[in-house]
Amino acid sequence: MTDTDRPLSQLGFLTIGLFDEKDPYGGHESTLRIIELGEQLGFDSAWLRDRHLQHGISSPVAVLAAASQRTSRIALGTAVIPLGLENPFRLAEDLSTVDVLSRGRLNPGFSVGPPTHFEAIREHLYPDSWADENFGYERVERLLHNLRGEPVSTFAGTEGIEQYSTIIQPHATGLVDRVWYGAAGLASAEWAGSHGLNLLSSSVVRAEEDDDFARIQRSHIERFRAAHPLGQAARASQGLVVVPTDSATPEQAAKYRAYAEARFARTTTPQGPQRMLFAPDIVGSSAEIADALQAHAGYRAVDEVVFALPFSFEHDDYVQILTDMATRLGPLLGWTPRTASS
């Protein structure tokens, strides 16, 4: 039993699906095997991050379509798809198709804003309309409209031997209720709540009123729930990089600590004009990590977590980390692994 404000009920993990440019199949297959392992270990959810023009998964929806056929229970999420690179009409079709294939297990997460390095790619992304594209919340609202099954066409009926619908097909009932928004600031957290979405709070926040990461993260969650129609029952998930070392070899443990140490400097003060603040990676035994989380203001505000796997480790490292999370850390946090019947 833990002393957190909200007992942990949902344990998930996140990966970017790193791959070798000369062998992209190997990295994608490794990611699918990791998701299969997550289900076997009883995790509630597995999430993919979006990486464009990098050696990480650029099409999480396609990979989750494959994962839906290799798993039967685990929820499958995206954390997050930047909508600036997407057409909400086509994306709604893809998401709905994967949700149907997974029998209602898809949890799509999104963010808004101009694409990264937009000036460098805009002529290939939106050659005729880049100056007029709206990268704000309106893009999410269009997607939600489509996922709710509201009209996207004024034509319906039969033309020759073909039948047409006014709504996105297939229509995935309930998918719109499983949409998450990745918020880094107070305004976006409030917007997500006021629009009835679920909240993904990650290891990066905007330091607007404070310089303490945990307090900032909690303030976002509280602002989100204050604006949400469900209030305190609204779903919010915390994301941190958490690396248990219980069953790690000495070499693995040393690598994990070196990774965290190399990234620590960016956590000490807000970075850049937007004052982005990064959470320290938490590396140690499951008991040490559990103690750190139970003292963390952000963690204490949620009953769901999506722990991020480090970017650059090997497949065997991820197997060890996930196994320790599910068999040692999770139970210390009051979590119970799920089975096929639960």
| Residue 40 burial (10 A CB sphere; 0-12, 13-18, 19+) | middle
Task: Give exposure, 289-316, as e/b (b: 16+ Cβ within 10 Å).
Answer: bbebbbebbbbbbbbbbbbbbbeebebe
| Domain-embedded: residue 127 | yes
The CATH number for 299's domain is 3.20.20.30
pLDDT at 258: 98
Helix (H) or strand (E) holding 75: strand 75-82
| Count: domains in the chain | 1
1 in a structural domain: no
Q: Which residue(s) pair with 124 in the sheet? A: none
**88 CB-near residues (< 8 Å, 6+ apart):** 139, 142, 143, 146
Identify whether the C-beta of residue 328 lies closer than 8 Å to the C-beta of residue 244.
yes
Give residue 42's domain range.
10-151+168-332
- CA 311-107-16 angle, 5° bins: 10
**CA 109/CA 76 separation, integer angstroms:** 10
Instruction: Say if 95 falls within a structural domain.
Output: yes
Q: Given a cut of 50, is residue 194 above it in pLDDT?
A: yes
Q: What is the DSSP letter of 241?
A: B
Question: CA-CA distance, 219 to 79, in Å (whole number)?
Answer: 20
| 85: Cα separation from own chain's centroid | 17
Over residues 209-254, the pLDDT tens digits come to 999 999 999 999 999 999 999 999 999 999 999 999 999 999 999 9
Quickly list H helices, the chain: 24-41, 60-68, 88-101, 118-125, 138-147, 186-194, 213-227, 250-263, 286-294, 315-324, 330-332
Residues 6+ apart with CB under 8 A from 332: 2, 286, 287, 290
Burial class (CB in 10 A: 0-12, 13-18, 19+), 100: middle
pLDDT score of 340 = 65
Convert the pLDDT of each residue in 43-101 to its tens digit: 999 999 999 999 999 999 999 999 999 999 999 999 999 999 999 999 999 999 999 99
How far is Cα of residue 221 from the mean position of the Cα atoms in its chain? 16
Confidence of residue 3 (pLDDT cuts 50, 70, 90): very low
Contact at 8 Å (CB) between 60 and 48?
Answer: yes
pLDDT tens for each residue of 134-145: 999 999 999 999
Query: How many C-beta atoms lie closer than 10 Å to residue 138's C-beta?
Result: 12
337 domain-assigned: no
* Residue 94, domain member (yes or no): yes
Give pTM, 2 decimals. 0.96
- 1 pLDDT band, cuts 50/70/90, is very low
Please report whether residue 158 resides in a domain.
no
